[in-house]
Chain A
């Protein structure tokens, strides 16, 4: 929980929001002043600026709550390889039927096949031993 709200990324997001929302409020207030001064276009902009503030808050919320392992370069890497992240949790594949996933699954299946084949060979070797003993 601490890393969610106090990571470097999260603190930057908090700072950006702390500048953005008051900035939008000031701009909206300025446009309300223009509108009250007689220019009706000010009303249009005095609605737009609070929208920008709301969007900033939404983006901030996403930035704080997103798992950084699913975003950016790290997210791309985990999405194409389906690799486990540093915490050991497996990162969900973006698309379970993706080509890369199927390639990986095939490679795993081949490994299993190879293991089966090795077991078969060793069983043959064991049989050979008994046959020789006769």
Chain B
């Protein structure tokens, strides 16, 4: 089986959307868990948790939509799709998921095949 599935411009955009959302939610979650929660527990300072927590909650909604779109485009099997969706709620996991999906995308799109005349747009026959 040839594993390459040439990516359409819409797929590239879906990947970019996902990467932006994955990094944004991941950074907010890391701030929330490793700065907000300690401040809440030891300093009783709630403002980081209240602001960053709300931002992460709503951005995670957008992340869900974008991740669902991309995993469908990349034909990610259902159990992995669920893990990618949940990755936005575990610190660092969204970054791992972003790496894996970007690699899968590059793998599926394949390298530009310069040796093939078809790649250069030569007509068939």
Contact = CB atoms under 8 A, between A and B. Distances in A.
Interface residues of A, number: 31
A75 B72 CA distance: 10
B65 A100 contact: no
Interface stretch (A44-52, A116-124, A126-134): A44-52
Interface in A57-84: 59, 62-63, 70-73, 75-77, 79-81
Contacts of B75: 70-73, 75-76, 79
Contacts of A70: 75
Contacts of B68: 59, 62
B124 interface: yes
B118 A98 contact: no
A46 to B, nearest CB: 11
A52 B61 CA distance: 7
B115 interface: no
B119 A99 contact: yes
A117 to B, nearest CB: 14
Contacts of B6: 95, 98-100
Given A44-B54, A72-B75, A72-B76, A51 B4 contact: no
A105 interface: yes
Contact of B50 (A41, A95, A98): A41
Chain B interface residue number, banded: 20 to 34
Nearest to A79: B5
Contact of B108 (A48, A62, A76, A81): A76
B5 A72 contact: no
B44 interface: no
Given A44-B54, A95-B8, A109 B124 contact: yes
A97 to B, nearest CB: 8
Nearest to B6: A98
A41 B54 contact: yes
Contacts of A72: 75-78
Contacts of B125: 109
16 contacts: A41-B54, A45-B57, A55-B65, A62-B72, A63-B78, A71-B75, A72-B76, A76-B3, A80-B3, A95-B6, A99-B4, A99-B6, A100-B4, A102-B124, A103-B2, A109-B124
